Amino acid sequence: MTTKTKGRIFSGMRPSGRLHLGNLLGALENWVALQDDYECVYCIVDVHALTTLTDGHEAREIAASVNEIALDWLAAGLDPERSIIFVQSHVPEVMTLHTLLSMVTPLGWLMRVPTFKDRVRQMDETEESVSYGLVGYPVLQTADIILYKADTVPVGADQVAHLEIAREIVRRFNNMFGPTFAEPRAKLTETPLVIGLDGHNKMSKSMDNHIELAATPEETAARLKTAFTDPQRLRRTDPGRPDVCNIYSLHKFFNPDDLKTVYDECTTATRGCVDCKAHLADGINKSLGPLRERRQDLAAHPERLKEILADGAQKASAIAKETILEVRERLGISIP
Ligand code: AMP
Ligand code: TRP
């Protein structure tokens, strides 16, 4: 990696299938841009994906998801020549650091994290019945970041509480064992919140209101046909209200040059929702065309993908090994 002036970025995504428009606009495009100014380390966090496991079958699906997400990342422009791109479990030092950090992390901090409480509720479990691993989720996330000596972490607002814990863990570690790690800072992306096809909730795979980046043009058009528009526009002749219509919001991303036309034709009922959705499908398909082409090329060469991830793991591993040596020295755990 060349030395860039602004510091080192670390960020991660859990592998849970293919990425969608929300992931691209809300995170990935920003990650791609950051490569210009920072040293970037991007990690597919497969061990984090195990924290909410319910059965063995699900565990085996994670490996397939890792590949899908790697294809989406590379196709979107994460560049293995400029950034370290790797899979979390390929560098097992993170698990060593996770264990050591867990010794300086009060349980109370972890039990109070709102995301922990949300997860417990979502999984229909109790705080007593969820795994020990889930409670430690932010400790593993801290290990991710500081193992690679990153200082800047681009994330969405939902991750701010985890970053706060990361800073507290670092502070405590440094106080107990001497200054070792920089306190990592969250870099809040001005995440355009992308609403899903239900016109209401955040676009997400779990709500099935999403469009995959890797969808074909036909699938994209078909998915859009089911999308909600202005609920008060019942007849083709009714004027629409673009300001409450998510199709209009998506036009802002994918047909920015046509916005005035879309607005005027909708509010005067000179265009119907069916045509408006077809227009949006064209915009999405045009804008994602090059990404989809790159993705297909990469998918046709699985050995190339494997090489890229192995190379990323090797680079990450070199940094990780140094950090672990330093931590062991600090803790006085002798090196065999
Ligand atoms: P997830 O796998 O849902 O945690 O998402 C991975 C990244 O994509 C996170 O940084 C999210 O903030 C971002 N993201 C996911 N869904 C959306 C959405 N609908 N709108 C904007 N950003 C999103
Ligand atoms: N918890 C993050 C999420 O759910 C994923 C993640 C794991 C992460 N380790 C990280 C993000 C380190 C930033 C830095 O999206």
pLDDT in tens, 119-168: 999 899 999 999 999 999 999 999 999 999 999 999 988 899 999 999 99
122 Cα: distance to centroid of ligand 1 (angstroms): 17
Q: Atom 13 (ligand 2): residue with closest C-alpha?
A: 11
116 in contact with ligand 2, CB cutoff 6 A:
no
* pLDDT of amino acid 269: 96
Residues 85-108 pLDDT 10s: 999 999 999 999 999 999 999 999
* pLDDT of amino acid 1: 53
Residues spanned by the domain of 89: 8-194+302-331
Domain count for the chain: 2
Ligand 1 atom with the smallest distance to the CA of 16 is 2
Percent of the chain with pLDDT over 70: 98
155 Cα: distance to centroid of ligand 1 (angstroms): 9
Assess whether 88 and 223 both reside in one domain: no
67 Cα: distance to centroid of ligand 1 (angstroms): 18
Residue 104 lies in a domain: yes
Residue 214: C-alpha distances to residues 19, 114, 129, 220 (Å): 8, 33, 37, 9
Residues 240-290 pLDDT 10s: 999 999 999 999 999 999 999 999 999 999 999 999 999 999 999 999 999
171 Cα: distance to centroid of ligand 1 (angstroms): 29
Assess whether 187 and 245 both reside in one domain: no
- Cβ neighbors of 281 (< 8 A, separation 6 or more) are 217, 220, 221, 224
Assess whether 272 and 311 both reside in one domain: no
* pLDDT of amino acid 334: 75
Assess whether 321 and 273 both reside in one domain: no
Average of per-residue pLDDT across 317-328:
97
Q: Which CATH number characterizes residue 67's domain?
A: 3.40.50.620
Assess whether 180 and 270 both reside in one domain: no
Residue 20 lies in a domain: yes
Assess whether 139 and 276 both reside in one domain: no
* pLDDT of amino acid 304: 97
What is the 3 state secondary structure string of 248-283?
A: HHHHHHHCHHHHHHHHHHHHCCCCCHHHHHHHHHHH
- Say what the pTM is: 0.95
